[in-house]
Chain A
Amino acid sequence: MSFAAPFRRSLIPRTTRTIASRYPCSKRRCFASVTSSNPPEAPREPEGTREVPMTVGDGGSGTVRPVRQRHGSDRLVFPGAVNSRFTNRLRFRMSDPNEAIETYRVMDTEGQIVDETHGLDFEALKEETLKMYNSMVTISVMDQIMYDSQRQGRISFYIVNAGEEGIAVGSAAALSDKDVIYAQYREAGVLMHRGFTFEEFMSQCFSNKKDPGQGRNMPIHYGSRRLNFHPISSPLATQLPHAAGAGYALKLEGTPACAVTYFGEGAASEGDFHAALNIAATRGCPTVFICRNNGYAISTPTLEQYKGDGIASRGVGYGIDTIRVDGNDAWAVYKVTKEAREIAIAEKKPVLIEAMSYRVSHHSTSDDSFAYRARVEVEDWKRRDNPITRMRKFMELRNWWDQEKDTQLRTHVRKDILKAFNAAEREKKPAISKLWEDVYDKPTKDQWAQMAEMKDILDRYGEEYDLDMYDGGKGEVVIKK
């Protein structure tokens, strides 16, 4: 509301804003460091100054610092730009296409370590490595089974994770169980790594009575209170301000954890992305924003999605610590997520990670991507690089893994998934009373009346309805709360 707020402001006269130190300056953040790093330009406040012409808030801590342009200064010190050098060179700025923000890597496509300063003790991380590989492989096996089942008409919808397992699993491995996750929809690897069971995955996709969501959401819209994983929300990017809010809640309650949210580069065009980054930065929310920049937003190629230097350049614009990372390098994702988490919690501020990958899958089962990109393009990407094979090469270089173990793992996983799949498909659907429950914390009077009438209809005309597939059948029409 660009015009509306100033308009409103004019209705009531402003009180003078001379609140230089109403609150103790306990937290020194962005603006404080800017002024203190430039001692010659920092305005000297005479003792007992009462009137301050302009003030700058300190990232939401309530500390208000004075900003004053010193006479004859060689730089601009205004509230909107507290340290901008004057220049006589007229130049419009834009990001240099030849010098994009660099992409961090720990290992190359052959699994060889390229960053010797990574500081990771791989020997100690052997078990974690095997777990990460297991999670990535399991996701890819499950995706194949579920994709095929959708094609057979056994579930209505599915989204696969192919090519992006490294981002989800690499980041999940770096997080604590207390960290709160707000995902988009292509991050099943996070859940898998956190311990979501096959039964839980399958129950959700089949909307059976064991689905914690009680069949109220499309397949793959998982959620788990046990795993601190908020339910997937279909509207794009709404989870980003939520994660800022969840981070703020953690900060307010003094919990040493952060909120983590995932989104695609297409979702980053939504207003909510900009709103979330700005409010997380200004309010100092311990939130890690992880962008999966995977080349396509359904059919829109990334190069038509935006003109600037990716999503990372926007983080810099919002005053957020930002890094770009190779998303096929699970170790790099692990490393930057670990660092980001520490910054977010210790310094109480957001961090943006842009993880680069290529979506080798179709967007979802509702999409045939060969309508807008060549099959050969996808095959090339698949052959060239892949987070799973890269991790496998890394393990093979250390003699932790071989073909036999790989075959064994895949066979084993496939068998377990199919077992859960068949059980979930046969399981009863949620009781029909679930239709009415949970709209509010307790059913309203209207809902009770509607339930009573439904029960009356079933009592009188029950034989007209086949409710055997629902848990409890016709008996389950009274809200049990």
Chain B
Amino acid sequence: MSATLTTTRLLSRSLREALCHGGSQNTGRRSIASLTRAPRTTRPLTNAISKFNTSQTRMLASAADVKEYTVRDALNEALAEELEADSKVFILGEEVALYNGAYKVTKGLLDRFGPDRVIDTPITESGFAGLAVGAALAGLKPITEFMTWNFAMQAIDQIINSAAKTHYMSGGIQPCNITFRGPNGFAAGVAAQHSQDYTAWYGSIPGLKVVSPWSSEDAKGLLKAAIRDPNPVVVLENELLYGQSFPMSAAAQKDDFVIPFGKAKIERVGKDITLVSLSRCVGQCLTAAEKLKSEYGVEAEVINLRSIKPMDVEAIVKSVKKTGNLIAVESGFPSFGVSSEILALSMEYMFDYLDSPAQRITGAEVPTPYAQGLEAMSFPDEDLIFRKAAQLLRV
């Protein structure tokens, strides 16, 4: 058993206890803030076994129209299309113009749109994020690139206290149409200060919308939706996905392609266990699901959250009604994380449908180490997801 598994298990076990304590305090009167949402229906006696597909489900017109896109190209296309479509849109950040972006996501944009709309900034996250918020308050639609979200901690006051709250605090008269984007979470060989997942941080703020793309279609559709959305949106990309290729449907290649917020995507249909995940871990879950199928004949359903806030709870509930088992998979820290939220939601909305306690697989509770071996043990991998799912299902 690897060290990662031990860590996750131990944490999960101790935290599960804490969750139980939290749950027991639920006494008679509830406050307005913690109202329940969906009415419960009675559980169907048998799981609906529908026709399922072992590969990823994609609605494609024909294979010939599908092109391979890297996530980087998909993001670049999204930016170019939105800059083209709306003169109020501009992008700024460190090295986004002359240098084409630290990760080349903004490649070619300076040549195409000029220095007034593709802007290199001084190295001051609070400064250029603040400038972008001001421009948004003045009616423009800025896209702020952080070289990585790790550096955005310098600007977090602008993101939360200014961008996310002004619309509400102004009585709805002052919108802030801004998009913050950049690579987030796990990255290879860059140690603790460059590989941290901020999904839970931003996901907890009312007023922000938060999305986390996995595939190229996700990347393009979500980024375009973010730029068009009148609210401040945080787009959490992943550095290791930038160079990965995914098939892009004909519809997604068009310039009117957007993915609505608050809708998860079933990447793989299954009937035995639900794996809910986001960003890079979606791909890991799909690999683990294939191994579960080939080794044990287990059909895992893989849900790609896409949108963190608002979150598509219905999609998870629907899946769990069918599978009866739930594992949340993410690469953030275990405490107070995205998977903590999903497990809390499972207590609120899925308790009666679960055949086993919902589980989570997360990063280890350590600042990400630099050494390759230690780093590998700090994050979930395909094998861990596979083994944890098999263990849960007692196969």
On A, residues with C-beta under 8 Å from B are 1-2, 4-5, 8-9, 11-12, 14-15, 17, 19, 23, 57, 60-62, 180, 182, 211-214, 216-217, 221, 223, 225, 230-231, 233, 235, 238, 240-250, 252-253, 259, 271-272, 274-276, 278-280, 282-283, 285, 437-441, 444-446, 449-450, 453-454, 457
Q: Select one of B36, B121, B126, B148 contacting A272, CB under 8 A.
A: B126
Asked if residues B130 and A449 are in contact (CB atoms below 8 Å), the reply is no
Q: Is the CB of A62 within 8 A of B114?
A: yes
Q: How far is the CB of B206 from chain A (nearest CB, A)?
A: 5
Given A23-B115, A246-B134: 13 more A-B contacts, CB < 8 Å = A1-B151, A12-B102, A233-B161, A235-B157, A241-B158, A259-B134, A275-B127, A279-B128, A279-B130, A280-B131, A441-B167, A449-B35, A454-B32
Q: Return the CB mask of B135-179 against A: 1 if under 8 Å, else 0.
A: 111111010000110110010011001100011111111110000
Q: Given A214-B172, A245-B135, A249-B140, A238–B104 Cβ distance below 8 Å? A: no
Residue of A nearest to B168 (CB): A438
> Would you call A235 and B161 a contact (CB within 8 A)?
yes
- Pick from A17, A213, A444, A457: contact of B170, CB under 8 Å: A213
Contacts A217-B169, A231-B174, A233-B162 given; does A238 touch B157 at CB 8 Å: yes
Measured CB to CB, the nearest residue on chain B to A62 is: B115
Chain B residue at smallest Cβ distance from A440: B231
**3 nearest A-B pairs in the assembled complex, by CB-CB distance:** A241-B130, A245-B134, A275-B127
Q: Shortest Cβ distance from B104 into chain A, in angstroms? A: 7
Q: Is B98 an interface residue (CB 8 A)?
A: yes
**With contacts A259-B134, A275-B127 known, is A444 near B115, CB below 8 A?**
no
Taking the nearest CB of chain A, how far is it from the CB of B354, in angstroms?
22
A440 and B134 contacting across the interface, CB-CB below 8 Å:
no
Expressed in whole angstroms, the Cα–Cα distance for A440 and B233 within the complex equals 11
Q: Contact between B131 and A276 (Cβ–Cβ < 8 Å)?
A: yes
Contact between chains at B102 and A278 (CB < 8 Å) = no
Whether the Cβ atoms of A4 and B134 lie closer than 8 Å is no
The answer on a CB contact under 8 Å between A12 and B138 is no
**B119 surroundings in chain A (CB, below 8 A):** 60, 283
Contact indicator B169/A244 (Cβ below 8 Å):
no
B131 touching A283, Cβ below 8 Å: yes
Q: How many angstroms between the C-alpha atoms of A216 and B133 in the bound complex?
A: 20
Tell me whether A441 and B175 are in contact (CB under 8 A): yes
Chain A residue nearest to B160 in the complex (CB): A235
Contacts of A9 in B (CB 8 A): 95, 102
Structural contact, B115 and A61, CB atoms closer than 8 A: yes
A440 touches B129 (CB 8 A): no
Given A249-B139, A283-B119, A441-B231, CB of A238 within 8 Å of CB of B130: yes
Interfacial chain B residues near A276, Cβ < 8 Å: 127, 130-131
Task: Tell me the complex Cα distance, A174–B258, Å.
Answer: 46
Question: In the complex the two chains form, is B36's CB within 8 Å of A245's CB?
Answer: no
Nearest CB of chain A from residue B187's CB, rounded to whole Å: 10
Considering only CB atoms, which chain B residue lies closest to A225 in the complex?
A: B173
Please report which residues of chain B, range 22-38, place their CB below 8 angstroms from some CB of chain A when the two chains form the complex. 32-33, 35-38
CA distance A182 to B139 in the complex (A): 15
Option from A213, A241, A245, A247 in Cβ contact (under 8 Å) with B126: A241
Nearest opposing residue in chain B for A242, CB measure? B134
B311: nearest chain-A partner, CB-CB: A446
B127 touching A230 by the CB < 8 A rule? no
| Alpha-carbon separation in the docked complex, A11 to B123 (Å) | 17
- Give the contacting residue for A438; candidates B35, B125, B172, B193; CB below 8 A: B172
- The smallest C-beta distance from B43 to any residue of chain A, in angstroms, reads 21
Contact B124 A279 (CB under 8 A): yes
Do B167 and A438 touch across chains, with their CB atoms under 8 A apart?
yes
Contact partner of B173 (CB less than 8 A), chosen from A212, A252, A449, is A212
The answer to whether A245 and B169 touch (CB under 8 A), given A252-B116, A449-B37, is no
Task: Say yes or no: B131 contacts A438, CB within 8 Å.
Answer: no
B98 adjacent to A17 (CB under 8 Å)? yes
B positions within 8 Å CB-CB of A: 32-33, 35-38, 90, 94-95, 97-100, 102-104, 110, 114-117, 119-140, 142, 147-148, 150-151, 154, 157-158, 161-162, 166-175, 193-194, 206-207, 209, 230-231, 262, 310
- On chain B, the residues within 8 Å of A453 by CB distance are 32, 35-37
B217, chain A: closest CB distance, angstroms: 23
CB-CB < 8 A to A213: which residues of B? Answer: 169-171
Q: Chain A residues near B102 (CB, 8 Å)?
A: 8-9, 11-12
Contact present for B126 and A214 (CB under 8 Å): no
- Residue of A439, A449, A454 near B206 (CB, 8 A) is A439
- Cβ-neighbour of B132 out of A8, A216, A245, A454 (below 8 A): A245
- Find B135's partner among A17, A238, A246, A437 (CB 8 Å cutoff): A246
Instruction: Tell me the complex Cα distance, A258–B95, Å.
Output: 27
**Using Cβ atoms and an 8 Å threshold, which residues of chain B touch A230?**
137, 174
Q: Which of B95, B115, B119, B158 has the most CB of A within 10 A?
A: B115
- Contact A4/B147 with A19-B98, A243-B134 known, Cβ cut-off 8 Å: yes
A2 B123 Cβ-Cβ under 8 A: yes
Q: Are A275 and B138 in contact (CB under 8 A)?
A: no
Residues in A neighbouring B135, C-beta threshold 8 A: 245-246, 248-249, 252
User: What is the minimal beta-carbon distance from A383 to any residue of chain B, in angstroms?
Assistant: 40
A439–B98 alpha-carbon span in the complex (Å):
37
Nearest B residue (CB) for A282 = B122
Q: Please, which residues of chain B bring their CB within 8 A of the CB of A446? A: 37, 310
A212 to chain B minimum Cβ distance, whole angstroms, is 5
Residue of A1, A2, A252, A437 near B172 (CB, 8 A) is A437
B-side contacts of A285, CB under 8 Å: 131
Q: Which residues of A contact B174 (CB under 8 A)?
A: 223, 225, 230-231
> Which residue on chain B has the smallest CB distance to residue A6?
B123
Looking at the complex, which one of A1, A11, A274, A440 makes contact with B209 (CB distance below 8 Å)?
Answer: A440
What residues of chain A lie closer than 8 Å to B98, measured between beta carbons?
A: 17, 19
A11 and B172 alpha carbons, distance in the complex (Å): 43
B104: nearest residue on chain A (CB-CB)?
A: A12
Contact A242 B133 (CB under 8 A): yes
- 8 A-B residue pairs with Cβ-Cβ distance under 8 Å, sorted by A, are A211-B171, A214-B172, A225-B173, A243-B134, A253-B139, A272-B127, A275-B124, A279-B131
Chain B contacts for A457, CB-based, 8 A: 32
**Known contacts A249-B139, A279-B124, A446-B310; A241 and B129 CB within 8 A of each other:** yes
A17 and B132 CA atoms in complex are apart in Å by 27
Cα of A457 to Cα of B194 in the assembled complex, Å: 47
Q: Judging by beta carbons under 8 Å apart, are B133 and A4 in contact?
A: no
User: Considering the chains assembled together, what is the distance between the CA atoms of A253 and B89 in angstroms?
Assistant: 12
- Residues from chain B with Cβ under 8 Å of A23 in the complex: 114-115
B32 contacts which chain A residues (CB < 8 A)? Answer: 450, 453-454, 457
- Assess the A440–B167 pair: CB atoms within 8 A: yes
How distant is the Cα of A390 from the Cα of B147 in the complex, in angstroms?
A: 53
Distance between Cα atoms of A221 and B99 in the complex (Å): 42
Cα A5 to Cα B110 in complex, Å, equals 20
Tell me which of A15, A17, A250, A440 contacts B207 (CB under 8 A): A440
B347 → chain A, closest Cβ, in Å?
17
Of all chain A residues, the one with the shortest Cβ separation from B90 is A252
Alpha-carbon separation in the docked complex, A428 to B252 (Å): 51
B169 & A238 in contact (Cβ 8 Å cutoff): no
Partner of B154, one of A1, A233, A249, A279: A1
Chain B residues in 8 Å Cβ range of A5: 94-95, 123, 147, 151
